[in-house]
Amino acid sequence: MDASYLDLVMAQQEETFEDAEGGGGVWVVAESAGGEMAPVTLEAIGVARTLAESLGAYVYAALLGDGVRLLAETLYQAGVNGVRVADHQGLSPFSLEPHLGILVDLFAEEPPEVVLLGATEIGGALAPRLAQQLGGGLIEHATTVSLDPTGRTVEAAIPIYGGEYFEVVACPEARPQFLTIEPGAFAGPFLDEYRRGEPTMVEVEPSEPAVRVVGLAEGFRPPEVRLAEASLVVAVGRQAGDPAQVERLAEALKGRLAGDRGAWDAGLIEADQVVDVRGTVVSPDVYLAVGIRGDTFHRAAMEGAAFVVAIHPDREAPIFEKADLCVVAEPGEVVEALLTAIGSAD
């Protein structure tokens, strides 16, 4: 290769490195629970170390909470090069505004190139707000992470439709690059117990959160899940035996009580509880039919159920054609046995 050409290539690479936006290292916003570091934080550190090696950068961690200073030791053992600790009683339990304010000020003073958080309730609350306030880009629920070195751009795979397939996404222009890491998707790093460091304490200005818990609401009952959206349905029929017993079973299983049109005719259920193509069509994870013979309209309305259990004394009952588990027995006896097994019998 011509020497002048090689010099030109090297010069271009060096210029790309120097002119790259960010350049402030790879940061991890740590989470702790019960006096221990959250596993997803350690997994994020493993990802951060891999990215930092490719970027030629350092790994830093931001640790916020009450009585968390000693947990910085675990972060150093996991491989971070520096820890910033905000330790204040006002930071526990988690409240959005105080945490967000500290992190925005910290990242304004020490601009990061990449910031990793856990795809948790806390990370999900902080990440989009940090990205918006700092003008960065955000990738959520990453399950694989890699780096495009030409643009110092992080690329991540995210699950679509519950993991049916994955998309690879990136934020090539926006900086900093924020990512939330799906818990359990990455291996945690080896903890080197001989590795030590002295964290930098961040001054905390006490602030009142905009939203705070003042107590439980009295006399409030949350609305029930709509029958069409219920994940577990216990349906009663004319031959169920004691309908009150079936209702107790639905409550014990935390499912929705329903029934066929015959049960409605008999006054066992209300009109909005009828599973029928002329009423409500359901597709729960589990459908338990108790004493339902199974007419055509009823079977068509529940055929979307993932798993069907049918209890009926007549082995020729049409409901068994749709059932994954068929129980030929007196429904009242089976329901009583189920209630006893789960500790809800009278």
Same domain for 178 and 250: no
Domain count, the chain: 2
Same domain for 152 and 64: yes
Of 84-88, 164-168, 212-216, where does the model show the most confidence?
Answer: 84-88
Same domain for 238 and 176: no
Same domain for 48 and 190: yes
pLDDT score, position 204: 87
Top pLDDT among 15 and 43 is at 43
pLDDT band, residue 21 (cuts 50/70/90) = very low
CB atoms within 10 A of CB 135: 9
Strand order in the sheet with 286-290: 256-259, 232-236, 286-290, 307-312, 325-328
Amino acid present at 169? V
Nearest to 189 by CA among 53, 57, 65, 68: 53
pLDDT score, position 12: 41
Same domain for 243 and 186: no
Same domain for 334 and 195: no
Residue 193 counted as domain residue: yes
Question: Residue 329 carries which DSSP code?
Answer: S
Digit-coded pLDDT (tens) for 133-192: 999 999 999 999 999 988 999 999 998 876 778 999 999 999 999 999 999 999 999 999
End-to-end C-alpha distance for the chain, whole angstroms? 88
Same domain for 236 and 188: no
Q: Domain range for residue 117?
A: 22-201
pLDDT band, residue 219 (cuts 50/70/90) = confident
pLDDT score, position 346: 56
- Where a domain ends, among 201, 218, 248? 201
Digit-coded pLDDT (tens) for 276-297: 988 899 999 999 999 999 999 9
> Above 90 in pLDDT, residue 131?
yes
